[in-house]
């Protein structure tokens, strides 16, 4: 039976002018991921909105097993660039690390987003279809469990994906980007039921967003 292709896409060959970022790239290529992480964070202290450095940091964190932080950093990279190719790579990597942790529904969402930007990516197409199949199986199992337990239960503990999305939403709120934060949480809720853990937060920023829209 065919299985998921576990490939993290890299941007290490980019001509990044920041010397600390170049050192981070070199450390990554040498397999010294702790040093790479240190250099990339140092580079971001100097250039915090550099999407390429953020992307390579996300790859480094993935290698170190810091998956929740990696997802958050990939999301930041997407938000700081208009480069369609870079956005597609970030979505692909988010989808891959989520799939590796069997969070199939949010993985499917990000793999689909990547494929929409890079429709000729055959590996991306394969992985999307695989994640779609696993998400469908998961949905069937969830429906069976719900049929067996009709009582409303408190929301489950948030997944690492839910936590990463919440941190990104918090960053958007700190920038007074309430509409973006609300939309981000709503989209995540559609693919990860554990995002419901932050329901009060979603309702709060939704209310602020409505007030802002009314004032405008």
Confidence (pLDDT) at 211: 76
The answer to whether residues 23 and 74 belong to one domain is yes
Instruction: Confirm whether 112 is domain-assigned.
Output: yes
The answer to whether residues 23 and 73 belong to one domain is yes
Rounded (to 5) percent helix, strand, coil in the chain = 75, 0, 25
The Cα–Cα gap between 33 and 59 comes to 9
The Cα–Cα gap between 28 and 56 comes to 9
Q: Which has more confidence, 16 or 91?
A: 91
The answer to whether residues 65 and 109 belong to one domain is no
Cβ atoms within 10 Å of 17's Cβ, excluding its own = 8
Last residue of a domain, one of 40, 63, 81: 81
Q: Which has more confidence, 177 or 13?
A: 177
Maximum CA extent, the chain = 58
pLDDT digits (tens, 9 = 90+) for 151-200: 556 668 999 999 999 999 999 999 889 899 999 999 999 999 999 999 98
The Cα–Cα gap between 113 and 116 comes to 5
pLDDT digits (tens, 9 = 90+) for 37-46: 999 999 999 9
Residues 6+ apart with CB under 8 A from 9: 89, 92, 93
Instruction: Confirm whether 151 is domain-assigned.
Output: no
* The pair of three-digit structure tokens given for residue 52, joined into one six-digit string: 């390429």
Question: If you average pLDDT over residues 47-51, what whole number do you get?
Answer: 94
The answer to whether residues 174 and 203 belong to one domain is yes
pLDDT digits (tens, 9 = 90+) for 76-127: 999 999 999 999 999 999 999 999 899 999 999 999 999 999 998 888 888 8
The Cα–Cα gap between 161 and 69 comes to 9
The Cα–Cα gap between 183 and 13 comes to 34
* Best CA proximity match to 27, nearest among 17, 18, 16, 35: 35
Residue with tokens 């097993």: 65
Confidence grade of residue 1 (pLDDT, cut at 50, 70, 90): very low
Instruction: Confirm whether 10 is domain-assigned.
Output: no
The answer to whether residues 175 and 210 belong to one domain is yes
Instruction: Confirm whether 169 is domain-assigned.
Output: yes
CATH number at residue 30: 1.25.40.10
Confidence grade of residue 4 (pLDDT, cut at 50, 70, 90): low
The answer to whether residues 96 and 77 belong to one domain is no
Confidence grade of residue 207 (pLDDT, cut at 50, 70, 90): confident
Instruction: Confirm whether 3 is domain-assigned.
Output: no
Q: What domain count does the chain have?
A: 3
Instruction: Confirm whether 34 is domain-assigned.
Output: yes
* The pair of three-digit structure tokens given for residue 86, joined into one six-digit string: 């870079």
Say which range, 26-30, 70-74, 83-87, 148-152, has the weakest mean pLDDT. 148-152
Range of the domain at 200: 160-215
The answer to whether residues 49 and 31 belong to one domain is yes
Confidence grade of residue 53 (pLDDT, cut at 50, 70, 90): very high
Instruction: Confirm whether 1 is domain-assigned.
Output: no
């Amino acid at each position: 039976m065919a299985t998921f292709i576990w490939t993290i896409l890299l941007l290490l060959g980019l001509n990044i002018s920041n010397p600390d970022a170049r050192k981070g790239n070199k450390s990554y290529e040498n397999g010294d991921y702790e040093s790479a992480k240190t250099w990339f964070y140092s580079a971001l202290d100097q250039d915090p909105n550099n999407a390429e450095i953020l992307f390579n940091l996300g790859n480094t964190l993935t290698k170190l097993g810091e998956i929740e932080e990696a997802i958050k950093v990939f999301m930041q990279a997407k938000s700081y660039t208009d480069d369609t190719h870079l956005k597609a790579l970030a979505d692909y990597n988010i989808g891959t690390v989520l799939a590796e942790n069997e969070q199939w529904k949010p993985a499917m969402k990000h793999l689909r987003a990547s494929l929409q930007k890079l429709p000729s990516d055959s590996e991306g197409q394969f992985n999307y279809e695989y994640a779609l199949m696993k998400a469908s199986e998961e949905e069937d199992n969830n429906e069976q469990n719900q049929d067996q337990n009709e009582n409303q239960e408190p929301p489950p503990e948030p997944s690492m994906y839910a936590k990463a999305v919440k941190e990104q939403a918090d960053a958007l709120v700190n920038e007074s980007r309430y509409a973006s934060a609300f939309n981000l949480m709503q989209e995540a809720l559609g693919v990860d039921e554990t995002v419901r853990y932050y329901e009060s937060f979603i309702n709060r920023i939704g209310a602020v967003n409505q007030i802002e829209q009314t004032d405008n």
